[in-house]
């Protein structure tokens, strides 16, 4: 009952209400309020994420699992960031502000957490920013390596794909323009950059639209199944 | 010929090439020419090696792309750009709105996407402020607010010392809830954003005097590439609220935005090329921005060289593949 | 520990200190807290290189960077969520004294006790952390899933299905016929290039149609339907080719961004 | 004169100044610029809202139509419940349509309006509109087509699910990639090398992971028959549990539960790149003959597919994430593109819910195909031969398929 019926009821109720509020103007406010609830619960989900992280890494630490030393790094980093973020620690030109501990200007509590000089923002600039962007920059290397070792014109489909990719890659650089500058203006569509534009505007648009319609219908039918309680995999139950 | 002879021959050729370059080119071009020679010479060497020895270590490929990207950064190569129609559409939209219109710019990205989309965000912000539009800055990503604060203070506002917070622009920051945020602001800003980032109530902010919801904004530009991002703006604000939306997206998702163009989004800036085109259009139209920093345009040099290297890799890889296949057949 | 490991560690430490000193002295004339600044820039560069070292092989420096990132970013999202949403959107609706404490404006419509619902659901969500009460987190989960499903149902139907259909109503014949000569000789992307325009419209129309055929599973792909699905897959392949090209382009840009940081902010070579 | 005009424009927001303060008028210009008032001011209730908005339209002052710049703006005044007039807004002239939407009203108040044309120092008021209250509507009839389409698409999904549950046979076409599955497993058996199955990096709440597990069921049945080794590294502990169940069940069905071991399905780490490094390690060490990459993949798709290619394995990829599909197509031997992954899963499992949804979505696609043909043909005929009737069809269809 509490484990199954109530969640199913909550889901059906909220989902139906949000759909219906689109068609019934007086219910718009209710729809907005429920969306606000959702946004607030989303923050609790961040807390849950943090809590999970702490639990996992404390567990690793306690059981001295492989690489447990690095769990200390994670935990220290987590609590450090949490402290400076929640206390709004900032120092501008040697003046310290920790409004929640009564140090410095009490009005600083109203300041944005990402204001200039806040430690939170500095940690973002010098730790999160380089780390995250470099993680993704690694992919450039893997793309290069894959283009040398894996992207083969194995069959007609892959050949077509690579050809289109070729035109786009050339067309999106000034080099592509230089290559086909000799093509007369009245046949300008045959210049590589224009071919790239045409591919984006026509076949790409068509293909993406077909995919979009497919995925859109998939989302719609999935939402419906969820609301009607047919799909229960989110509860960790069997389907059907 | 033995191995030693090859090395000797290589050294002689190298000396001749170096001498030729030093003699033929002016001093300031040496870096560029040498780096180009290095990359293209390397490609030829790679082709030969792949043909005879087959195995090329992954790390050599890594090194290759590093050089191809790093060299043009150190020794810049610059190009001119011609804005494509999808980019020009955004530029024209901002240009043709009467001065004093309200534009909403949403920074929906994180550091991982920033190199691609930050240049467009900066250029469009400058364009709006220069044109005299009132700008509402916000973000659907927590990391976006941090980037937004940083770029407002470090780049965007530096050129506009007399713009007043709350009158000419306002930063309302981030709220959790992804598309949930959009679903509320499409009918009510104040409910979702009671204050701006500095806790100033929305009702005390002049910009919001006649802006009750996202529907009242004249133009919305979402800059991002993940979820939530431009797509959610179209689905949750642009379409239901009937507002003009433009998007600036990371290259990875740019192709997926085309089905919405031009009925649901008025224009698309795709990746660093889109940013470069916008920067070029901006510089072209406003002499004030002649000395503006143009990261997008600057990035096109390394970008071009890297594209050529990647294309060469695909060609070389396929040459090996087809040779191998023919051998296997025989 | 192996001797080589120690040597590598030592070299990294020395380089780090060297960079710190040099960077700090380079910043000295401009900024007040130059020692801290020097450290921060050096640390950012160190982290960048630590992540890049993964390309050589998995190593402790990379693991350090990865674990640091996980910890810091989890806390980052928590703090942002707390200050922006809990403090600004929730507290003024529940308590005037807390709102005053955090200096956020009170709601014009007053308190709204209805808003204890998300708090309760949120706390139930946190029950997931306890080994036994985990099942109760299904309630808030159901709320989250329900909201997403309810919001998505209409929005996807409208923007990704309905509107896409009417956007595909394209004319398949030109409007003004200007003769075969101008028709064939002006291959321009602009409105004057009628052949290209017409071709584009046909590609869009046929592309969407055959693409849908390819993803239609209720009929065997034989005969005319089979031809349609073949055309569909070709269009899809060109689409994926375009995506491919754009993805490669994007990945390169990210690397350019990082290297610009290393050469510019850190080494000041450019 | 222009500078004075400019001044007047600047002062415009400080309403009433031009009228009430004679000194101010003197300062600006002594000659009063008389303009005619706007006419036909109409206030109507805004349709399909919750009763908070009234829309105003008016015909601009004759002076505005004749001389550009004579009328500077239109001022909207509102009278609530017989009170005094309040200035609501200034509407600039010359740009947009002549209309204004007054929002945040109350249903129990009575409103009346008048609009005044404003010159540099004169205001000409129109007649007042009839008193009215904003109305609340219970149904947004603008969205009736949206409602109907939602009903049809949703209804057909439900209908087919029910039908499938009742045991109606639902036809799903053969998926080309699925035949490749058997072949690939066979090849691994011949070569005496293992199979690697990577189920993506998402958890069990992602449909793609579920589809991957369904296909795993098929793969492991073949494996159990041939007695080939399988490795399945996962990045979620729940996926590991489900994977173990699936493989175990296949071995039991083949009558050799003793051959099954928990080492076949293992959990590494939730971290994206940590997981990739681990899977790469497995690939290079074990040199599988066949690699399955099915499920939700992100940036790691490329790294995995590349390594698989490097060790010379036959690769079968499949994901519904459009951004990753190109890499699979270019680097794998077979790819289940987007929805094909779900179709394959439905085909294999024969589960009513999966089959029913698939068929329901097909109905949606059929609607799309028919509508596209009708719309395109109508617009083509309409534009080429200027047929009025065809224009009407297009307008109607666009109205049905609109974003309102």
Residue C231 has pLDDT above 70, yes or no: yes
Sheet containing strand D39-45, strands side by side: D39-45, D54-59, D99-102
Co-location of D154 and D283 in the same domain:
no
Nearest to C166 among D153, D375, D383 (CB): D375
Which of D98, D125, D152 terminates a domain? The answer is D125
D292: domain CATH number? 3.40.50
Residue D149 covered by a domain: yes
pLDDT grade, residue A2 (50/70/90)?
confident
Q: DSSP states of C102-131 as a string?
A: TT-PPPTT---GGGHHHHHHHHHHHGGGSS
Share of chain C above pLDDT 90, in %: 61
Buried b (16+ CB within 10 A) or exposed e, D240-270: bebbbebbbbbbeebeeeeebeeebbebbbb
From chain C, pick out residues whose CB is under 8 angstroms from the CB of A44.
Answer: 118, 121-123, 125-126, 140
How do residues C44-98 score in pLDDT, each as one tens digit? 999 999 999 988 888 889 989 989 999 999 999 999 999 999 999 999 999 999 9
Say whether D394 sits in a helix, a strand or coil: helix
Among A210-224, B81-95, B223-237, D165-179, which is the least confidently predicted range?
Answer: D165-179
D104: domain CATH number? 2.60.40.10
Co-location of D238 and D268 in the same domain:
yes
Q: What is the dihedral of CA B272, B276, B277, B279, to 10 degrees?
A: 130
Co-location of C145 and C124 in the same domain:
yes
How do residues C160-217 score in pLDDT, each as one tens digit? 999 999 999 998 886 566 666 666 666 776 666 778 888 999 999 999 999 999 999 9
From chain D, pick out residues whose CB is under 8 angstroms from the CB of C144.
Answer: none
Tell me what pLDDT residue D94 has. 64
Residue position matching structure tokens 């005879």: B52
Co-location of D391 and D276 in the same domain:
no
ipTM of this predicted structure: 0.89
What are the residues facing D125 on neighbouring strands?
D116
Query: Would the CB atoms of B273 and C249 count as touching at under 8 Å?
Result: yes
Contact call for residues B305 and B80 (beta carbons, < 8 A): no
Co-location of D231 and D317 in the same domain:
yes
* Interface check B6 vs A, CB under 8 A: no
Residue D6 covered by a domain: yes
Tell me what pLDDT residue C176 has. 61
The answer to whether the Cα torsion of B84, B89, B91, B92 is positive or negative is positive
Co-location of D243 and D198 in the same domain:
yes
Co-location of D159 and D194 in the same domain:
no
Co-location of C195 and C236 in the same domain:
yes
Domain total of chain C: 2
Please give the Cα distance from C197 to B286 (Å, whole number): 33
Which domain covers residue C208, as residue numbers?
168-266
Please give the Cα distance from C80 to B143 (Å, whole number): 9
User: Under the phi-then-psi rule, with left for phi > 0, alpha for psi from -120 to 50, and beta for the rest, what region is B177?
Assistant: left
Query: Which token pair is A120?
Result: 């939170």
pTM listed for this prediction: 0.89
CA angle C126, C127, C130 (to 5 degrees): 120
Domain total of chain D: 3
Which domain covers residue D277, as residue numbers?
176-350
Tell me what pLDDT residue D19 has. 42
Co-location of C116 and C127 in the same domain:
yes
Q: How far is CA B83 from CA B16, B89, B134, D173, in A?
A: 42, 9, 25, 46
What are residue D116's phi and psi, to 5 degrees?
-120, 135
Please give the Cα distance from D182 to D177 (Å, whole number): 10
Nearest to D309 among A150, A213, A225 (CB): A150
Longest dimension (CA), chain A: 75
Please give the Cα distance from B238 to B216 (Å, whole number): 12
Tell me what pLDDT residue C83 has. 93
Co-location of D121 and D256 in the same domain:
no
The answer to whether the Cα torsion of D182, D188, D192, D194 is positive or negative is negative
Q: How far is CA D307 from CA C50, D266, D288, D311, in A?
A: 23, 20, 11, 6
Please give the Cα distance from B4 to A83 (Å, whole number): 63
Residue C71 covered by a domain: no
Tell me what pLDDT residue B112 has. 87
Query: Would the CB atoms of C66 and D274 count as touching at under 8 Å?
Result: yes
Name all contacts of C85-91 with Cβ < 8 Å and 24+ positions apart: C85/A39, C85/A40, C85/A42, C85/A43, C85/B175, C85/B176, C85/B177, C86/A40, C86/A43, C88/B175, C88/B193, C88/B194, C88/B195, C88/B199, C89/A36, C89/A39, C89/A40, C89/B175, C89/B192, C89/B194, C90/A40, C90/C115, C90/C118, C90/C119
Do β-strands D85-92 and D73-80 pair in parallel, antiparallel, or remain unpaired? antiparallel
- Chain D residue with CA closest to A162: the answer is D330
Query: Which token pair is D391?
Result: 């224009």
Among D318, A148, D286, D309, smallest CA distance to D278 is for D286
How do residues A127-171 score in pLDDT, each as one tens digit? 999 999 998 899 999 999 999 988 889 888 999 999 999 999 999
Q: Which of B115, B150, B311 to mutate to test the interface with C (most CBs of C within 10 A)?
A: B115
Which of C144, C167, C190 terminates a domain? The answer is C167
Co-location of D14 and D115 in the same domain:
yes
Query: Would the CB atoms of D339 and A218 count as touching at under 8 Å?
Result: yes
Co-location of C140 and C195 in the same domain:
no
What are the residues facing B135 on neighbouring strands?
B103, B169
Contact call for residues D317 and D308 (beta carbons, < 8 A): no
Query: Would the CB atoms of C235 and A140 count as touching at under 8 Å?
Result: no
- Chain C residue with CA closest to B116: the answer is C253
Residue C99 covered by a domain: no
pLDDT grade, residue B18 (50/70/90)?
confident
DSSP collapsed to 3 states, D161-208: HHHHHHCCCCCCCCCHHHHHHHHHHHHHHHHCCCEEEEEECCCCCCHH
Nearest to B115 among C56, C242, C256 (CB): C256
Query: Would the CB atoms of A213 and D357 count as touching at under 8 Å?
Result: no
Among B137, A121, A40, B193, smallest CA distance to C81 is for A40
Co-location of D201 and D99 in the same domain:
no
Contact call for residues D291 and A123 (beta carbons, < 8 A): no
For residues B36-49, give the mean pLDDT.
86
Cα D88 to its chain centre, rounded Å, is: 37
Contact call for residues C163 and D402 (beta carbons, < 8 A): yes
pLDDT in tens, chain D (404 residues): 444 444 444 444 443 333 444 334 444 455 788 888 888 888 888 888 888 888 888 888 888 877 777 888 888 899 888 888 888 888 877 656 788 888 878 888 889 999 998 888 888 888 888 888 888 888 888 889 999 999 999 999 999 999 999 988 888 888 888 888 888 888 899 999 999 999 999 887 788 998 999 999 989 988 898 888 999 999 888 899 899 999 999 999 888 889 898 889 998 877 787 888 889 888 988 999 999 999 999 888 988 998 998 888 999 999 988 889 999 999 999 999 988 999 998 888 888 888 999 999 999 999 999 999 999 999 999 888 888 899 999 999 999 998 77
DSSP at A223? H
Q: What is the mean pLDDT of chain B?
A: 90
Q: E-assigned strands of D192-326?
A: 195-200, 230-234, 265-267, 290-296, 314-319
User: Under the phi-then-psi rule, with left for phi > 0, alpha for psi from -120 to 50, and beta for the rest, what region is B31?
Assistant: alpha
Tell me what pLDDT residue C192 has. 64
Q: Which of C19, C78, C214 to mutate to test the interface with A (most CBs of A within 10 A)?
A: C78
Co-location of D338 and D263 in the same domain:
yes
Please give the Cα distance from D290 to D196 (Å, whole number): 6
Q: DSSP states of chain C as a string?
A: --HHHHHHHHHHHHHHHHHHHHHHHHHTTT-TTHHHHHHHHHHHHHHHHHHHGGGT---HHHHHHHHHHHHHHHHHHHHHHIIIIIIIIIHHHH-HHHHHHTT-PPPTT---GGGHHHHHHHHHHHGGGSSSGGGGGHHHHHHHHHHHHHHHHHHHIIIIIIHHHHHT---SS-SS---HHHHHH---SSTT-HHHHHHHHHHHHHHHHHHHHHT--SS---HHHHHHHHHHHHHHHHHHHHHHHHHHHHHHHHHHHHHHHIIIIIT---
Residue C153 or residue A185, greater confidence: C153
Contact call for residues D335 and D292 (beta carbons, < 8 A): no
Contact call for residues A82 and A50 (beta carbons, < 8 A): yes
How do residues B110-167 score in pLDDT, each as one tens digit? 998 999 999 999 999 999 999 999 999 999 999 999 999 989 988 888 889 999 999 9
Q: How far is CA B164 from CA B132, B307, C9, D202, in A?
A: 12, 43, 50, 46
CB pairs under 8 A between A and D: 125
Buried b (16+ CB within 10 A) or exposed e, B101-132: bbbbbbbbbbbbbbbbbbbbbbbbbbbbbbbe
Cβ neighbors of B174 (< 8 A, separation 6 or more) are B138, B139, B140, B141, B142, B144, B145, C80, C84
Residue D321: CB atoms within 10 Å: 17
Query: Which token pair is D175?
Result: 């998926």
How do residues B273-324 score in pLDDT, each as one tens digit? 999 999 999 999 999 988 888 899 999 989 999 999 999 999 999 998 898 8
The answer to whether the Cα torsion of B182, B183, B188, B191 is positive or negative is negative
Tell me what pLDDT residue D30 has. 59
Co-location of D252 and D301 in the same domain:
yes
Domain with CATH 3.40.50 in chain B: 85-293
Co-location of D274 and D186 in the same domain:
yes
- Chain C residue with CA closest to A138: the answer is C52
Residue C141 or residue A2, greater confidence: C141
Among A237, A213, A234, A236, smallest CA distance to A15 is for A234
The answer to whether the Cα torsion of D352, D358, D361, D363 is positive or negative is negative
Fold assignment, B85-293: Rossmann fold (3.40.50)
From chain B, pick out residues whose CB is under 8 angstroms from the CB of C252.
Answer: 69, 302-303, 306-307, 310
- Chain B residue with CA closest to A135: the answer is B112
Residue D27 covered by a domain: yes
Q: Which subunits have 3 or more CB–CB pairs within 8 Å of chain B?
A: A, C, D
Residue position matching structure tokens 């949120």: C122
Longest dimension (CA), chain C: 83
Q: How far apart are the first and last CA of chain B?
A: 31
Cα A43 to its chain centre, rounded Å, is: 15
How do residues A30-39 score in pLDDT, each as one tens digit? 888 999 999 9
Say whether B84 sits in a helix, a strand or coil: coil
* Interface check B210 vs D, CB under 8 A: yes
How do residues D337-357 score in pLDDT, each as one tens digit? 988 999 998 888 888 888 999
For residues C112-126, give the mean pLDDT.
92
Query: Which token pair is C188?
Result: 């321009």
């Amino acid at each position: 009952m509490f484990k199954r019926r109530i969640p199913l009821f909550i889901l059906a109720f909220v989902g139906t209400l949000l759909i219906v509020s689109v068609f019934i103007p007086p219910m718009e406010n209710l729809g907005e309020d429920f969306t606000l609830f959702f946004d607030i619960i989303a923050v609790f989900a961040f807390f849950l994420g943090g809590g999970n992280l702490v639990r996992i890494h404390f567990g690793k630490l306690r059981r001295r699992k492989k690489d447990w030393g690095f769990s200390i790094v994670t935990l220290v980093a987590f609590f450090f960031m949490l402290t400076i973020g929640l206390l709004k620690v900032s120092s501008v030109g040697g003046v310290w502000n920790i409004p929640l501990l009564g140090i410095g200007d009490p009005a600083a509590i109203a300041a944005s957490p990402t204001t200039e000089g806040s430690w939170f923002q500095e940690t973002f600039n010098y730790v999160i920013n380089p780390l995250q962007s470099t993680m993704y920059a690694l992919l450039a290397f893997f793309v290069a390596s894959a283009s040398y070792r894996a992207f083969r014109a194995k069959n007609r489909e892959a050949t077509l794909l690579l050809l289109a990719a070729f035109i786009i890659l050339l067309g999106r650089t000034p080099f592509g323009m230089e290559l086909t500058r000799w093509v007369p203006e009245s046949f300008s569509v045959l210049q590589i950059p224009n071919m790239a534009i045409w591919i984006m505007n026509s076949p790409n648009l068509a293909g993406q639209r077909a995919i979009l319609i497919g995925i859109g219908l998939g989302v719609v039918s999935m939402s419906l199944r969820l609301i009607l309680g047919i799909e229960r995999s989110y509860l960790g139950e069997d389907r059907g | 010929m033995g191995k030693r002879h090859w090395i000797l021959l290589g050294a002689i050729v190298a000396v001749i090439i170096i001498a030729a370059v030093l003699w033929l080119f002016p001093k300031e071009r040496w870096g560029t020419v040498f780096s180009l020679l290095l990359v293209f010479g390397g490609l030829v060497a790679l082709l030969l090696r792949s043909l005879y020895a087959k195995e090329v270590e992954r790390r050599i490929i890594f090194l290759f792309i590093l050089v191809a990207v790093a060299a043009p950064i150190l020794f810049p190569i610059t190009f001119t750009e011609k804005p494509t129609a999808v980019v020009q559409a955004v530029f024209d939209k901002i240009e043709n709105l009467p001065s004093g219109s309200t534009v909403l710019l949403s920074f929906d990205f994180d550091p991982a996407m920033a190199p691609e989309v930050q240049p467009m965000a900066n250029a469009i912000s400058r364009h709006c402020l220069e044109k005299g539009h009132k700008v509402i800055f916000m973000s659907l990503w927590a990391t976006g607010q941090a980037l937004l604060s940083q770029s407002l203070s470090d780049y965007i506002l530096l050129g506009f010392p007399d713009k007043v917070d709350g009158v000419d622009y306002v930063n309302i920051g981030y709220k959790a809830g992804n598309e949930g945020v959009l679903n509320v602001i499409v009918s009510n800003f104040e409910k979702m954003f009671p204050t701006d980032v500095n806790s100033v109530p929305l009702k005390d902010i002049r910009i919001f005097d006649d802006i009750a919801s996202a529907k009242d904004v004249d133009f919305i530009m979402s800059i991002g590439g993940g979820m939530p991002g431009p797509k959610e703006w179209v689905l949750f604000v642009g379409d239901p609220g009937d507002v003009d939306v433009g998007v600036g997206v990371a290259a990875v998702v740019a192709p997926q935005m085309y089905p919405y163009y031009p009925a649901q989004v008025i224009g698309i800036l795709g990746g660093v090329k889109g940013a470069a085109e916008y920067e070029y259009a901006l510089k072209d139209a406003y002499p004030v921005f002649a000395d503006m920093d143009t990261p997008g345009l600057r990035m096109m040099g390394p970008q071009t060289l890297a594209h050529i290297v990647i294309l060469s890799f695909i060609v070389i890889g396929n040459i090996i593949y087809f040779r191998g296949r023919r051998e296997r057949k025989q | 520990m192996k001797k080589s490991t120690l040597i590598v560690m030592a070299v990294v430490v020395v380089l780090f200190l060297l960079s710190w000193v040099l960077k700090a002295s380079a910043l000295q004339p401009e900024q007040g807290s130059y020692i801290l600044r020097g450290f921060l820039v050096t640390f950012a560069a160190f982290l960048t290189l630590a992540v890049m070292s993964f390309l050589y092989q998995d190593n402790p420096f990379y693991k350090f960077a990865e674990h640091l990132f996980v910890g810091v970013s989890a806390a980052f999202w928590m703090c942002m969520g707390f200050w922006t949403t809990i403090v600004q959107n929730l507290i003024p609706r529940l308590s005037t004294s807390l709102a005053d404490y955090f200096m956020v404006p009170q709601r014009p419509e007053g308190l709204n006790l209805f808003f204890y619902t998300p708090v309760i659901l949120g706390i139930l969500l946190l029950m997931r952390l306890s080994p036994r009460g985990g099942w109760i987190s299904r309630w808030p989960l159901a709320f989250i899933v329900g909201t997403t499903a309810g919001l998505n149902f209409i929005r996807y139907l409208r923007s990704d299905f309905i509107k896409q259909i009417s956007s595909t109503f394209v004319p398949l014949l030109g409007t003004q016929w200007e003769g075969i000569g101008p028709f064939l000789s002006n291959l321009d992307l602009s409105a004057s290039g009628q052949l290209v325009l017409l071709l584009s419209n046909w590609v869009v129309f046929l592309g969407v149609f055959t693409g849908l055929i390819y993803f239609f599973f209720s009929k065997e792909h034989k005969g005319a339907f089979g031809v349609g699905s073949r055309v569909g897959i070709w269009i899809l392949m060109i689409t994926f080719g375009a995506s491919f090209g754009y993805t490669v382009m994007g990945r390169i840009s990210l690397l350019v961004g990082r290297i610009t940081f290393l050469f510019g902010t850190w080494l000041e070579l450019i | 004169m222009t500078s004075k005009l400019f001044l007047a424009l600047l002062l415009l927001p400080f309403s009433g100044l031009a009228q009430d303060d004679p000194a101010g008028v003197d300062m600006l210009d002594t000659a009063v610029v008389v303009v005619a008032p706007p006419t036909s001011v109409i206030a109507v209730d805004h349709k399909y809202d919750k009763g908070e908005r009234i829309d105003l339209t008016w015909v601009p002052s004759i002076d505005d139509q004749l001389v550009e710049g004579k009328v500077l703006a239109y001022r909207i005044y509102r009278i609530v419940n017989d009170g005094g007039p309040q200035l609501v807004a200034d509407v600039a002239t010359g740009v947009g349509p002549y209309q204004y939407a007054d929002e945040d009203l109350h249903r129990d108040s009575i409103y009346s309006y008048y609009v005044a044309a404003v010159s540099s120092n004169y205001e000409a008021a129109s007649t007042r509109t009839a008193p009215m209250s904003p109305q609340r509507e219970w149904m947004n009839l603008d969205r009736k087509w949206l409602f109907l389409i939602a009903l049809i698409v949703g209804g057909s999904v439900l209908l087919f699910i029910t039908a499938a549950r009742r045991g109606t046979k639902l036809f799903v076409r053969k998926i080309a990639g699925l035949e490749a599955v058997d072949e690939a497993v066979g090849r691994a058996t011949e070569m005496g090398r293992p199979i690697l199955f990577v189920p993506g990096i998402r958890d069990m709440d992602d449909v793609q992971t579920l589809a991957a597990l369904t296909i795993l069921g098929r793969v492991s049945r073949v494996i159990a028959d041939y007695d080939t080794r399988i490795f399945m590294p996962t990045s979620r502990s729940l996926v590991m549990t489900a994977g173990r169940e699936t493989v175990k069940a296949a071995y039991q069905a083949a009558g050799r539960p003793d051959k099954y071991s928990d080492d076949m399905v293992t959990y590494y780490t939730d971290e994206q790149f940590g997981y990739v490094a681990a899977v790469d390690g497995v690939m290079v060490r074990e040199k599988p003959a066949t690699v399955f990459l099915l499920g939700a993949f992100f940036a790691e798709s490329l790294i995995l597919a590349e390594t698989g290619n490097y060790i010379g394995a036959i690769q079968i990829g499949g994901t519904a994430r459009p951004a990753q599909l190109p890499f699979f197509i270019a680097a794998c031997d077979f790819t289940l593109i987007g929805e094909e992954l779900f179709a394959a899963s439905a085909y294999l499992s024969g589960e009513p819910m999966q089959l029913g949804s698939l068929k329901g979505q097909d109905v949606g696609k059929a609607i799309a195909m028919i509508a596209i043909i009708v719309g395109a043909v109508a617009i083509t005929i309409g534009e080429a031969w200027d047929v009025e009737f065809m224009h009407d069809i297009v307008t109607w269809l666009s109205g049905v398929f609109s974003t309102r």
